[in-house]
Structure formats: C-alpha cells, structure tokens
Amino acid sequence: MNDQDFALTRNAAGRIVFTGKEGDVHEGVVPVRAFPISAPQEGVSLLGEDGHELRWISRLSDLPEAMRALIETELAQREFMPEITRIRQVSSFATPSKWQISTDRGDTELLLKAEDHIRRLTNSTLLITDGYGVSFLIRDIGAMDHHSRKLLDRFL
Amino acid sequence: MGAVQPRTRKGFSLQRVGSLSNMASVVNSHLVNLHTISPLSSDKQVSDAWHKALQARLSAREKIHASLETNLDEQLNYAKRLILLTNQRLIGLTWPALEFCEYPLGEDLALHQRDHAGIGCIELFAAGTRLAWWRYTMAHDPEATRFVRQFEQVLGGLLSGQPIVEAQPVLCPQCLMPLVPGQDECAYCDVETEAPPSSWVLLRLWRFAKPYRWQLLAGFLLMLASTAATLVPPYLTMPLMDKVLIPYENGSPINTDMVTLLLGGLFGSALLAWGLGWARTYILALVSERIGTDLRTITYDHLLHLSLEYFGGKRTGDLMARVGSESDRICLFLSLHLLDFATDVLMIAMTTAILISIDPWLALVTLLPLPLIVWMIHSVRQKLSTGFEKVDRVWSQVSNILADTIPGIRVVKAFAQEKRESARFRQVNQNNLAVNDRINKIWSLFSPSVTLLTEIGLLVVWAFGIWQVTHNKISVGVLTAFLAYISRFYTRLDSMSRIVSVTQKTASGAKRIFDILDRVSSVPEPVRPQHLDSIIGRIEIREAGFRYGNRAIIKDMNLVIEPGEMIGLVGHSGSGKSTLVNLMCRFYDVSEGSISIDGVNIRSLPIAEYRHNIGLVLQEPFLFFGSIAENIAYGKPHATLAEIVAAARAAHAHEFILRLPHGYDSLVGERGQGLSGGERQRISIARALLIDPRILILDEATASVDTETEKEIQKALDNLVRGRTTIAIAHRLSTLHKANRLVVMDRGEIVETGSHDELMQREGAYFRLYQAQARNVDTDLDDQSISAPENGKESAE
C-alpha cells in the first residue's frame, strides 16, 4: 500500500492525469481491467494515451482510497456489460431474434443475430453480444427465473 | 410558440439567408420530430413528455436545429437523455426527472464524439474544460454523428455571422454518401433483415420452381391418378366379401367369372398404381433435384459477389453448410416430405368421399377420432422437436471440438495435452449422451403411443361396425372395406404429423439460404457506373474512416498517392495498414469519407473493372488446385503461354518452375503443398504481373519467408513495381528502401510521412521503429522481425 509511487488526478477536461515518480506526467490515462469477467477486482492496468502500459495494479484494494475511487469511477463510466437478470420476451426462437430483457442497468432490448453470439464462459455464465456490439452477461443461469431459463434454453 | 416544429422541411433552400433567426431554414437539421428520434425509443409518451418539458423552457424566438436522444445515463444505466441544439444554446434534459441544463453557444464551445467497447460518448467542452457528457449505445451512433456535425455547422454559422452559404446535400452519417431527399436511410448502408423465419418463406421457393411448372403440373396430375388407383383395391373387397365369400359360406357355389373379374381388377389396379406411382415419383424427383441444383448455383453465385465483410463475419463451415446441406434439405423436402404429404392429403380426401358415398354414418364415426389423434400426435412431436434441436446443438459442440483439435494437433502434442483434450471431448460426449437419454425417454414412448392411438381408432370402427352389422344396417363387406381404408391412412398419420416439424426445419433452412440471397453486398455495384478508359493511378484518400463492429480502425485519413509513386506503409501490427489496403481494393467500403482514383470515387466504378487495375500480392499466397500455369493465369484466363512464361520470368519463378517434374503443368494443391513459401510467393507475383495492373498492392509480401528467399522475391518485386503506383506494407523496413515516401501509421491514423532520411531526421515514430529493428529489440513489432539486424544494415545503405 505504501510502495505506490505515482499519483492520479482528474483534470478539468475530465481526463485522468498520471504523475510518475520522476515527475513524468501523462494525460488521458485509461484504466483497463485485465480480467473483466473472471476476476474484475484483480489486475487493472493503467494505459497511457499512446496505448502503452504505465502501471500495473495487481489489486485495486492495494491503492489508497482516493485513487481507487477515481479509477473505479472511470471504470464505471467506461465499462458497459449489463447483466441480464430476466428475459421477458423473445421475438422468435430462430435468429435474428429480438429479446426484451431486464438488466441490472435497466430494461432494454437486444438483437441476437446468430446463436454463435452467445458464448459460454463457464457452465453457468454466458456472454451475449448483441447486434450493436454491446456485450450482455448472464452470470448465473441458475439464478434466473423459470420463464427466462426456458426461453434461454431454446437458444443453447 | 414555434419552438418545436414538426419535421416538415426535409429539402433545403439554396437561397442566401442573412439573418441569424432564419438559419434554421438553411442548416438542414434533423428538426425535432421527437417521435422518430431513436430507433429504440418507440413509446410515444416519452416523446410527448419531452415536448411538454421543452415548451415551457424555450423562448419564442428560439429555433431548434437538432436534437439527439441518448439512452444511457452517467453511470451507464439505461435511461433517456435528450440533447437539444437551438440557435442560442445547447440544452440537456434528463428523463424522467426532466432536469434541465443549458450551455449558451459561444466560440469556445466544442463537442467531441468518441467511442469505446460499444459505448459512444459526446462530450461538451468549453475552453478545454469538460462541461457535460452524454453516453449512448452504438445503435444511436449515426444520429450522434449527425448531431455533432449539425452542432459544428450551426456554431460555425453563428460565429462567422453569416449563414452557411451553400446548402449541402444531406449526407448519410455512416458513409457520407448523399441521401435521397426525404429519405432517412442510406441506400448504401444496408439494413439487416430482422424478421424471424416463418413457414411462408417456403413460398419464396416458387421463384426456383417456376421454370419447372409444367413438369410440376404433370407430376400433380400423375399423383392424383396414382392415388386414385391405390384406392381401388379396398373398394373391390366389398363385392368380393358380400357377393362371393358370404354367399359361399351360406351354401351358394362360387361365381368363378365374378372372382376372375374382381381378382383381375385388383391386379390391374395394383399394376396401374405401380406405373403411375413410378412416373409421379420420377418426375417430381427430377424436378426437385433441379430446383435444388439451381438453388445451390444461384446461392453460390450470389455469395461470391458479397463483400469480404460478410465472409469475415461468417464461419466457413456455416457458409458451406448453407450452400451445401441446406439446399439439399430443401430438395429432400420437396421430393419426399412434401410429396408424401400431398399424397396423403389427397388420399384422405378421396377416402372420405368414398366412405361417405358408401355409408355416411359409419364414415362419420370412422373419421371423427381422426382430428383428435392427429392433434395428439402433433403435440407429442412438438415436444420432441425442441429436444431434437437440443441434440443438434450438442452434436455441433462435439464436432466443434474435433474441428478445433485436429488442425491444432501439433500444439496439443507439443504441450502434451492429449489427456486434457480427451477429457474435454469425453465431457461433451457425456453431455451429448445425457441430452439423448432425455429425448429417448419421450421418443421411445412415441411410436408405441401412435400405434395405440390408431388401434383405439380401429377399435371404435370395429365396435360401431359390428353394432351396425348386427342391426343389419351394413353388410360385412362394407365393414371390411371400411377397415381396409381406415387402416391404410391411420398408418400415414404419423408421417403426416411429421410434416409440421419438417416444414419448420426446411423453412429455417430456406431462410438461411434466402439470408444469403437477400443480402445486398455492403460493397454495392454503382447504380450509374462511370468508366475510366485508362487509369493513370492517382489515388486520393479523403477524410476516410472505417469502423469494424464497434471499433474504429481507420480515423479521418487523408493521403494522396501520385501516379507511379511507391508508398511504404509502416506501423505496428494492428495500426490499420491492412485495413487501408482492403479499403483501397474496395473489399470494404469506407464508413466515412471517400477514396478516389484519378479523381473518380471508386464507389462509382464497376467493381470488377476497378479491380482489374489492381495487382495484389498477399503475405500468404493462395494457390488454387490446378497447374502452375493455370495459377499464374488466374487473373487472365486467356493469357497465351508466352505471356505466362514472360510473367514467370519477370517474377524470377521461371527457373524453379522448370526444375519441377512437369514444368508449368505441375499440379499444386489447394495451398500449394510441395512448394516452398518463397516459390509460392513468386508464383503469386507472376499472377499479379500478368494482369499488368496500374496499381500494385503488396501486403507483407515478404513477411513469411527467410532472408535469402526474401532477396529473390525482392528482385521479382522490383520488376513488378516499376512504373506502377505501389502501396507496400512491410514489417521489415528494409523491404521499403525503394519507396518514394513512407507513411507511418499508428492506431488508424497517419502519424508521419516522408522519405526514410527525412523521417530519420525527425526522430519520431519511424525513427523509433527503425531503431527498434536495428537493435533487434522486439519491442512492438511482432515476431516477424527476427532477422532485423541485417535488414537494418541493408536499408541503411
């Protein structure tokens, strides 16, 4: 926790500024999770504007509170992988199919173009990429209600 | 108050308008029609609510230029936000709280648009300070781009004090092609068909059946006749029973003439049914096979003309299945299932007529349970079909593992992971077993159940028939005839019930084929093609952008390549070099901006004509199955032998070809097995040389060969390059020593241009790349730079 030798701040333009040990300053730093699905809390990399890694943070919890909050706010604004909690309705069992879904980020609809766009990450976790490039996560099929599971089952 | 206008003005006036308040008429804006703003917001209430919230806040003199509805809030939750551009300010509104914020238009105001991982963002800056930002999913991206453009136009007009003098045609936000006035959708950016497949799609097969309509008609008539013929024998059992057997049992002698006649009739009808049935099946099988063949040919033809983008997004196996087995399935459906079904329906109709004509009451009792039984069979089958779909999918998992492992067998063995792969396969296999076990439970029950149901049906007929016979309402002969008829089509019920699921499956197969056929190439042929007689080779790339999925690969690129100039494209892998080359070949179309050759947009040239002017040499040369001569002449099938030899000589391929046992007639495999990488590459160079293109594109032509071979190829390439506009991509900077100009790319943008010396002096991105190669430090260049030191020396000369 104390071996941290850099500082992160947010400037007026809303960009994150990284100041290194030698006083080198990088603007527009982008935090990226290395394992966004399997281990979101571990392995966050700070990338400079040119795409080079500035610092590897193996655990977010190792950072001081303020910097962690800054990174997490930034991540929250960039990461978009709604978790599907319920499938309300599907337009057809053959693709392309429009699904009316509830997610942890509100209700929306997704367009499933082909069954291949449902990717099985583990036995109970699915990643669904919709026609517009948004990835939806189903963390645990077992945790969904019966109706959703039944609909989903027709596509698996 | 005229603040919120309906979108009435889609065309625009060309007249000069002086005062600011009239600007709205000039800047053709997506005037607020709140009902049609976003493709996803369909509920009208929200739009009305925006309306209400706005009316109270806009002053009477304010005019709305543009609006944008976004669908995410600051924490990226789904929520509606509205941005509104008026002639005085930028207004932000939230939903449902209707929080209001405003930013008066001023010169330091700027809107920036960017996107990352499927999320777009519009940020509002004032003198470098971010005031506000809005986020949206990429579904809203075209509207957002349009909004930002309009903002810039309005602000520009406002600041310069003069309205935009010339009204510009509305451009499609995606491809910048002018839109047809009054239309919101661009003809070039095709819209995905999103309708689910229905069985009606089968009707579309008529297009392929039409040429065979007379054969089809003949087949149908034959079907009628043959079905009628099969119905004769049970009818003849009636007199056989009533007039021959029963009288004999009662003591009368056998009427030999009648027996002969009836037996003759039975034999004759059987013979007739045989002959007609053969003719019918033969004709219809012929027709369906032809329809299948046409379908395959046309689909393949269409497929070949689709853009690379389509192929990029599809798996080879899937496309092969569509063209191959799906068309076969349709063919089978037409020749077998549909035929059987039609025969069955005809038979039922005719039987019903016959039964009613013999005895209406018995006919009623016989036919009454039929619909019930059909319904029961159908409902069980429906259950089964979902199960079978699951089996299909699990089965594809099994084959996927095979397809995954067998080509990668060297890796599996090298890392000694046989056990793990075997475990993976076993697990999927177990999965397959479990699914099959489950379905077999229902399936095994199915066939006995059908038998049971038909037996019950027969039982009803027996019971009612016996009762009727005992009351002397019908004769024994009539009862036997009824039983003969009814058992005939009870056995068909099962196959009839199958038609539903078979039709559904075929419909989805047909849909998959029509998906290809309906697909408009995203690289469309121009509507009004222009022709260039001779191409000089001046290439101009103007504000080109390209987006693949949700990733912007090329951004705002400007580059002019003079005729005969050789350009070297340099950059890290993933910097967009290959994409740029693909855009130039028009394998893809730019998402924004334009590429023109000799001042003509390449989109307005006929594709084949344009590509004839391009010679392409790829990193992995692809040789088709055939002789070397055929491969060299691939782009010009009628080339003379002398031309082929000349091209091979120029490509430094002549000598090694002669060393092969059959010279130019040596066969090469699909990827040119038996030839080394360098040899294959020189054949592909000869191929490019033979068509004598004005523009030459070398995409890492020497990347996959060793340094010695590279020198050979380099000599061949030097022959090829002479006098042509050349764009060469290379990892090894040494290969570009002949280039007039080097263009350094990084993450989709040009960062530097200039000659080797200029760029070295500048000590910028190229300098770093060069240094990295010279030092053989494999910083960012990937594994291809193994032999960098010698190259470094070579190009330093």
Using a CB–CB cutoff of 8 Å, tell me whether B555 touches chain A.
Answer: no
Q: Least CA distance to B505: which residue of chain A?
A: A94
Among the three residues A17, A44, A78, which one is the final residue of a domain in this structure? A78
Query: Would A1 be classed as within a structural domain?
Result: no
Query: Would A2 be classed as within a structural domain?
Result: no
| A92 and A65 in a common domain | no
Tell me the shortest Cα–Cα distance from B631 to chain A, in angstroms.
36
- Confidence class for position B13, pLDDT limits 50, 70, 90: very low
pLDDT of residue B38: 35
Structural fold of domain B530-613+697-705+740-789: Rossmann fold (3.40.50)
Kind of pairing between the strands at B695-699 and B725-729: parallel
What is the spatial distance between Cα B790 and Cα A146, in angstroms, rounded to a whole number? 66
Residues 6+ apart with CB under 8 A from B495: B340, B341, B344
In A105-139, which positions are buried (b, 16+ CB within 10 angstroms) versus exposed (e)?
A: beebbbbbbbeebbeeeeeeebbbbbbbbbbbbbb
Task: Say yes or no for a CB contact (<8 Å) between A96 and B194.
Answer: yes
Q: Which two tokens stand for residue B165?
A: 């003098």
- Taking residues A51-60, what's their average pLDDT? 84
DSSP annotation of B664: G
DSSP annotation of B162: S
| A74 and A11 in a common domain | yes
| A97 and A138 in a common domain | yes
| A89 and A51 in a common domain | no
Residue B184's φ and ψ, nearest 5 degrees, are -95, -25
Sheet strands (E) in B549-613 = 551-561, 566-571, 592-597, 600-601
Q: Is the pLDDT of residue B264 over 90?
A: yes
Using a CB–CB cutoff of 8 Å, tell me whether B385 touches chain A.
Answer: no
- B125 against B195, higher pLDDT: B125
B contact residues 193-232, partner A, Cβ 8 Å cutoff: 193-197
What is the spatial distance between Cα A65 and Cα A14, in angstroms, rounded to a whole number? 19
| A57 and A40 in a common domain | yes
Structural fold of domain B20-160: PH-domain like (2.30.29)
Q: Least CA distance to A93: which residue of chain B?
A: B196
Q: Which two tokens stand for residue B516?
A: 């290809």
Q: Is the pLDDT of residue A98 over 80?
A: yes
Closest CA to B70 of B36, B49, B103, B41: B41
Q: Is the pLDDT of residue B277 over 80?
A: yes
| A145 and A102 in a common domain | yes
Tell me the shortest Cα–Cα distance from A134 to chain B, in angstroms.
5
Q: Which two tokens stand for residue A31?
A: 């935090």
Which residues on chain A are in Cβ contact (under 8 Å) with B129? Answer: 12-13
Using a CB–CB cutoff of 8 Å, tell me whether B125 touches chain A.
Answer: yes
Query: Would A43 be classed as within a structural domain?
Result: yes
Using a CB–CB cutoff of 8 Å, tell me whether B434 touches chain A.
Answer: no
Task: Say yes or no for a CB contact (<8 Å) between B78 and A79.
Answer: no
Query: Domain tally for chain A?
Result: 2
The percentage of residues in chain B with a pLDDT greater than 90, rounded to a whole number, is: 3
Q: Least CA distance to A74: which residue of chain B?
A: B75
Q: Least CA distance to A72: which residue of chain B?
A: B75
Of the candidates A13, A79, A132, which has its C-beta nearest B137's C-beta? A132
Task: Say yes or no for a CB contact (<8 Å) between A13 and B74.
Answer: no
Among the three residues A47, A78, A109, which one is the final residue of a domain in this structure? A78
Query: Would A140 be classed as within a structural domain?
Result: yes
Task: Report whether B610 contacts B562 (CB < 8 A).
Answer: no
Using a CB–CB cutoff of 8 Å, tell me whether B130 touches chain A.
Answer: yes
Q: Least CA distance to A107: which residue of chain B?
A: B78
What is the spatial distance between Cα B561 and Cα B743, in angstroms, rounded to a whole number? 11
Mean pLDDT of chain B: 77
Beta carbon pairs, A and B, within 8 Å:
84
Q: Which domain holds residue A145?
A: 84-153
Tell me the shortest Cα–Cα distance from B747 to chain A, in angstroms.
9
Task: Report whether B512 contacts B314 (CB < 8 A).
Answer: no
Instruction: Tell me the pLDDT tens digit for each residue of B605-618.
Output: 888 888 888 888 88
Q: Considering only B27-36, B284-293, B489-498, which range has the smallest mean pLDDT?
A: B27-36
- Half-sphere exposure (Cβ direction) of B41: Cα atoms closer than 13 Å: 27
Domain residue spans in chain B?
20-160, 194-358+503-522, 360-473, 530-613+697-705+740-789
Task: Report whether B672 contacts B686 (CB < 8 A).
Answer: no
Using a CB–CB cutoff of 8 Å, tell me whether B123 touches chain A.
Answer: yes
| A91 and A58 in a common domain | no
Of the candidates A51, A76, A133, which has its C-beta nearest B138's C-beta? A133
Task: Say yes or no for a CB contact (<8 Å) between A106 and B137.
Answer: no
Tell me the shortest Cα–Cα distance from B396 to chain A, in angstroms.
11
Q: Which two tokens stand for residue B302?
A: 């269409």
- Half-sphere exposure (Cβ direction) of B711: Cα atoms closer than 13 Å: 7
Query: Would A15 be classed as within a structural domain?
Result: yes
What is the spatial distance between Cα B744 and Cα B736, in angstroms, rounded to a whole number? 12
Whole-angstrom Cα Rg for chain A: 19
Query: Would A144 be classed as within a structural domain?
Result: yes
Q: Is the pLDDT of residue B75 over 80?
A: no
| A89 and A71 in a common domain | no
- Taking residues B36-64, what's their average pLDDT? 60
- Taking residues B319-346, what's their average pLDDT? 82
Query: Would A31 be classed as within a structural domain?
Result: yes
- Confidence class for position B258, pLDDT limits 50, 70, 90: confident
| A101 and A42 in a common domain | no
| A128 and A92 in a common domain | yes
- Confidence class for position B17, pLDDT limits 50, 70, 90: very low
The percentage of residues in chain A with a pLDDT greater than 70, rounded to a whole number, is: 96
pLDDT of residue B163: 60
- Confidence class for position B170, pLDDT limits 50, 70, 90: low
Of the candidates A76, A91, A105, which has its C-beta nearest B78's C-beta? A105
DSSP tally for chain B: helices H, then strands E: 27, 19
Of the candidates A13, A96, A98, which has its C-beta nearest B129's C-beta? A13
Task: Report whether B645 contacts B654 (CB < 8 A).
Answer: yes
Superfamily of domain B194-358+503-522: ABC transporter type 1, transmembrane domain (1.20.1560.10)
